[in-house]
Amino acid sequence: MEYDFLISDRMRNVDPKPLDDMFSFGVDPTVISLACGNPDASLFPAAALAQAAFDVIAQEPVSALQYGKTKGYPPFLDYLCARLKQKQGVCCAEDELLITSGSQQGLELFAKVLLNEGDTVLVEEPAFIGSLNAFRSAGARLIGVPLERDGMSLAALDRLLTAHPETKFVYTIPTSNNPTGITMSVEKRRRFYEIVKKHRVFVAEDDPYSELRFDGKILPPIKCLDTEGLVLYFGSFSKILSPGLRVGYVCADPAMIRLLSVAKQTADLQTAVLQQMMILQYVRCNDLDAHINALRERYAAKCGVMLAAIDLYFPAGASRTEPDGGLFLWCDLNNGCDTNRLVSKAVQKRVAYVPGYAFTADLTNKQSTLRLNFSALPAEQITEGVRRLGSLLKTAEKDCTPGG
Amino acid sequence: MEYDFLISDRMRNVDPKPLDDMFSFGVDPTVISLACGNPDASLFPAAALAQAAFDVIAQEPVSALQYGKTKGYPPFLDYLCARLKQKQGVCCAEDELLITSGSQQGLELFAKVLLNEGDTVLVEEPAFIGSLNAFRSAGARLIGVPLERDGMSLAALDRLLTAHPETKFVYTIPTSNNPTGITMSVEKRRRFYEIVKKHRVFVAEDDPYSELRFDGKILPPIKCLDTEGLVLYFGSFSKILSPGLRVGYVCADPAMIRLLSVAKQTADLQTAVLQQMMILQYVRCNDLDAHINALRERYAAKCGVMLAAIDLYFPAGASRTEPDGGLFLWCDLNNGCDTNRLVSKAVQKRVAYVPGYAFTADLTNKQSTLRLNFSALPAEQITEGVRRLGSLLKTAEKDCTPGG
């Protein structure tokens, strides 16, 4: 039976193909997938987390196994408040936090709470496809704001907010943006906030990577500048500990958290308490900061390997970002090649990437860009994957029309 | 800052008060809460689940801690297929299943996929408030179909489907309905399916309690009758093992599962794999059926205690259901008392229940009904809670106008 004709208008906005591709490429072990967004699994502190899981269920079975509170496990909320203040400088009270199943869910709930169908959302472009799809699934009309070397173009932001006073919120990943690895400068964060304050729009600040900056220096989130309750700060333990835990959070004004909590209760009642307790138990018995330092060093090294391989193997005209953290970098072939059309050829050559169009507001535009992940695979596979891809790109280049 | 004026139209449909009350009453230890829907925590197999958690993380850390598949952990899907066939007689392949974070999430995703704002949904009345709110949050216009002693009124169903040909789906909890404990007869299930087939509408069959029928006999789900891909079957491990695990599932036509999987990916990428692995490991090393038998015996006994207490302490004119399973029973004071207005007085008397209006399509109607939970508390607290409530209801009765 085919049901497509029955699908709701807002779900029709969602294009599942790019994410489906991303996951399916990872399944074939003969394909080197630079498409995924996985952390390095060899660094998971598995023994410590296994022990933490055992301990919390054995010691507090009712908390771990009974229904819990929609907002989150109270001792975990306390811990998170302290950690956010210490690490990011984000000051929040317990009533300013909601635990979500990954930050993905927080972004989806925010869109659901705020958006009517056709409402305008400005998104950093390029930006994470999962977030864009969450907004689309709430009926958003997305408009891209170009990313510059030091973060979102503020001239474009101001102009677009003036042209679209109906805008409900602006979405940004200010630190080590997914897919580019670009970070918004401190000065630009300050001016960004002045502009959104002037226009009275909300900000969804997505910050999964701030602790993974290679130099270890955390830049102050835009949330720290927020005097008006306009900024929602979305965080996650997926990249600093384990994505399988599915523990994210949103920090926002208490009135906004109340609205988000109603949406959360309606969506799935609560995020599992077990993983919240596991994280708490893990940090009691282990040094999370030391673990994150090890991640940063590993990812910095892998990023270096990938950059060197790109410089060696990619066509001469291609450009790339130089990430300061995170899991991804971004290439532009600068030759009019449609990277979406090349994906299937790349998979035939046993290498995969995500074509750039997937990260844009308007999915119908042709793009000569692509995203590569450097966190998941061992260094030698990164080099070999880039080599295969470079070889394909050089061959394909002959068929492409510059600017075409 | 107050944001209420900014909230989306569909979230405006949701009334969080009844569920907020339900959870908050459970917090004060001096209040005997018959309002919640908690399983008996003393029966959680905590030691076995602690060991299962340790084993699966230690043995398969990457599966447990890395990103997983949106549809669910493949070995768990295999197990679930076999179990559904063996227990409920529901035949499904792996591509007919999606793992969700509780069945609550499955119902919300289904509504999100199918409903445009203002679309009509017929709901068994009374029915679980969490489900009704999930439908409301997708913009549903709910119309109640009265429940009779042997399940939904089929005359009313046929009449309402004729009057509302725009109906997208019908919602039912055919076995041990929440809040009443009423079960739809086998004969009525057959006729119910003929009616929905005639009108070509979907069915959301919510079945968390079928294995908790006191006599241990599982009635065939409506899904087993489905030859047209119209029925979505929603199940959960919350009531037979632990609600904190947050593992539910939906079984439906493969094309529908594909649509629901896109919505699931957009909502939170995937349900945590850890709990799916824990359940698999638990059933490998333990006898889940024996555990469920113990639950059934305990709940049957507690239900008997509550029925006896109601007959002893409630006003003479009150009537009650006689559940054949599940966690709840339903009382009607039959005296025009508005049970919603009595809630705060009850809490003053240190006892809590859920007023009947919360389970109806139109929340503005006054109801003289209430839901009581018999699974969570020890027998002596059930008796004492019913005694306190009966005393209040007898006093309050004097102030109520019959039929008023």
- What is the spatial distance between Cα B275 and Cα B101, in angstroms, rounded to a whole number? 10
Q: Give residue-wise pLDDT tens across range B302-325.
A: 999 999 999 999 999 999 999 999
Torsion of CA A247, A248, A254, A255, to 10 degrees: -110
User: Which position has the token pair 């025009």?
Assistant: B336
Closest to A236 (Cα-Cα) out of A152, A130, A133, A145: A130
- How distant, in Å, are the alpha carbons of A251, B220, B233 from that of B84? 40, 11, 11
Tokens at residue B380, please? 């002596």
Q: Give the Å distances, CA to CA, from A308 to A32, A215, A384.
A: 18, 19, 12
Amino acid code (one letter) for B58: A
Buried b (16+ CB within 10 A) or exposed e, A6-30: ebbebbebbbbebbebbbebbeeee
B148 vs A1, B122, B125, B156, CA distance in Å? 33, 15, 9, 10
Average pLDDT over residues A173-180: 98
Cis ω for the linkage preceding A39 (within 30 of 0): no
Contacts of B107 in chain A (CB under 8 A): none
Q: What is the mean pLDDT of chain A?
A: 95
pLDDT above 60 for A402: no
pLDDT (tens digit, 9 = 90+) per residue, A331-362? Answer: 999 999 999 999 999 999 999 999 999 999 99
Contacts A240 to B, Cβ<8 Å: none
- Indicate the helix (H) or strand (E) that contains A148: strand A141-148
Cβ distance of B269 and A68 shorter than 8 Å: no
Residue type, B218: I
Count Cβ neighbours within 10 Å for each residue of A311-334 and write b for 16 or more, e otherwise.
Answer: eebbbeebebbebbbbbbbbbbbe
Mean pLDDT of chain B: 95
Cα distance between residue A161 and residue A378, in whole Å: 43
Rounded to whole angstroms, the Cα distance separating B34 from B175 reads 21
A324 within 8 A of A176, measured Cβ to Cβ: yes
Query: Whole-angstrom Cα distance, residue B293 to residue B296?
Result: 5
Which residues in chain A have their CB less than 8 angstroms from residue B142's CB? Answer: none
Q: Which pLDDT does position B401 carry in this prediction?
A: 61
pLDDT computed for residue B404 by the predictor: 43
Tell me the per-residue pLDDT of A127-173, one tens digit each, with 9 for 90 and over. Answer: 999 999 999 999 999 999 999 999 999 999 999 999 999 999 999 99
> Is the separation of the CB atoms in A67 and A270 below 8 Å?
yes
Contact residues, chain B, for A7 at CB < 8 Å: 113-114, 259
Of B44, B138, B272, the CB nearest to A275: B272
Percent above pLDDT 90 for chain B: 90
Which residues in chain B are closer than 8 Å to A255, comparing Cβ atoms?
1-4
- Which residues of A are less than 8 Å from B101 in CB distance? 101, 268, 271-272
Cβ contact, residue pair A272, B68, below 8 Å? no
CA distance A75 to A73: 6
In three-state secondary structure terms, B22 is: helix
Measured distance CA(B224)–CA(B231) in Å, rounded? 9
Chain B neighbors of A66, CB-CB under 8 A: 38-39, 41, 44, 242-244
- Mutate which of A5, A6, A8, A168 to test chain B, going by most B C-beta atoms within 10 A? A8
pTM of the model: 0.97
Asked if the Cβ–Cβ distance from B66 to A267 is below 8 Å, we say no
**Count of CB contacts below 8 A, A vs B?**
252
Tokens 């929609």 belong to which residue? A70
pLDDT-based confidence at residue B6 (cuts at 50, 70, 90): confident
| Torsion sign, CA atoms B374, B378, B380, B386 | negative
Token pair of A288 as six digits: 């999370």
Contacts 24+ apart (CB under 8 A), A193-200: A193/A222, A193/A225, A193/A226, A193/A231, A195/A154, A195/A157, A195/A158, A195/A161, A196/A161, A196/A170, A196/A230, A197/A227, A197/A228, A197/A230, A199/A158, A199/A161, A199/A162, A199/A165, A199/A167, A200/A230
The alpha carbon dihedral of B37, B41, B42, B43 has a sign of positive
B268 → closest Cβ in A104, A255, A262? A104
Distances (CA, A) of B165 to A290, A387, B159, B160: 62, 59, 10, 8
B33 within 8 A of B349, measured Cβ to Cβ: no
Encode pLDDT of B174-198 as tens digits: 999 999 999 999 999 999 999 999 9
Rounded to a whole number, what is the distance in Å from the CA of B182 to chain A's nearest CA? Answer: 24
Distance to chain B for A258, nearest Cα, Å: 10
Residues of A in contact with B115 (CB under 8 A): 8
CA A135 to chain centre: 14
pLDDT at B37: 93
What is the least distance, in Å, from the CA of B46 to any CA of chain A?
Answer: 6
Give residue-wise pLDDT tens across range A190-212: 999 999 999 999 999 999 999 99
> Looking at chain B, which residue has its C-alpha nearest residue A104?
B268
Query: Would you state the structure tokens that stand for residue B333, as one six-digit string?
Result: 């004071």
Q: How far apart are CA B275 and CA A165, in angstroms?
A: 45
Chosen for mutation from A62, A65, A109 (greatest number of chain B CBs closer than 10 Å) is: A65
Q: Which helix (H) or strand (E) covers residue B370, if one does? A: strand B369-373
Candidate from A7, A54, A64 with C-beta closest to B244: A64
DSSP secondary structure, B91-103, as one string: ---GGGEEEESHH
Average pLDDT over residues A181-193: 98
Which residue(s) pair with A255 in the sheet? Answer: none
Considering only residues B3 and A141, tell me which one the structure prediction assigns the higher pLDDT.
A141
pLDDT of residue A1 exceeding 70, the answer is no
φ/ψ (deg, to 5) at B31? -95, 125
Choose the closest CB to B57 out of A4, A46, A272.
Answer: A46
List phi, psi (to 5°) of B214. Answer: -60, -35
List the single residue in B14, B62, B269 with the smallest CB-CB distance to A102: B269
Chain A positions touching B130 (Cβ under 8 A) are 265-266, 269
Residue A364's pLDDT is what? Answer: 86
Min mean pLDDT across A4-8, B225-229, B245-249 is at A4-8
Is 0.90 exceeded by the ipTM? yes
- pLDDT of B1 over the 70 cut: no
Decide if B246 and A255 are in contact by the 8 Å CB cutoff: no
Contacts of A108 in chain B (CB under 8 A): 266-268
Q: Mind listing the domains of chain A with CATH numbers?
A: 4-44+290-397 (3.90.1150.10), 46-285 (3.40.640.10)
Q: If you measure CA to CA, which chain A residue comes closest to B103?
A: A268
**Cα(B261)–Cα(B344) distance, rounded to whole angstroms?**
42
Interchain CB distance below 8 Å, A65 and B50: no
Structure tokens given for A333: 């072939």
Residue A228's nearest CA partner among A258, A202, A192 is A202
Interface probe with B: pick from A10, A24, A63, A67, most Cβ of B within 10 Å: A67
DSSP track, B204-266: EEE-SSGGGBTT-PPPPPGGGG-SSS-EEEEEESTTTT-GGG--EEEE--HHHHHHHHHHHHH
Per-residue DSSP letter, B330: E
C-beta of residue A270 within 8 angstroms of C-beta of residue A285: no
B404, with CB counted inside 10 A (0-12, 13-18, 19+), is exposed
Element housing B195 (H / E): helix B186-199
Q: Mind telling me how many Å the CA of B275 is from chain A's nearest CA?
A: 9
Which chain A residues are Cβ-neighbours of B70 within 8 angstroms? 23
pLDDT at A404 over 70: no
| A26, pLDDT greater than 90 | no
- Nearest-CA residue of chain B relative to A42? B62
Q: Out of A6-15, B225-234, B310-319, which region has the weakest mean confidence (pLDDT)?
A: A6-15
Quick one: which of B113, B116, B115 has its CA closest to B105?
B113
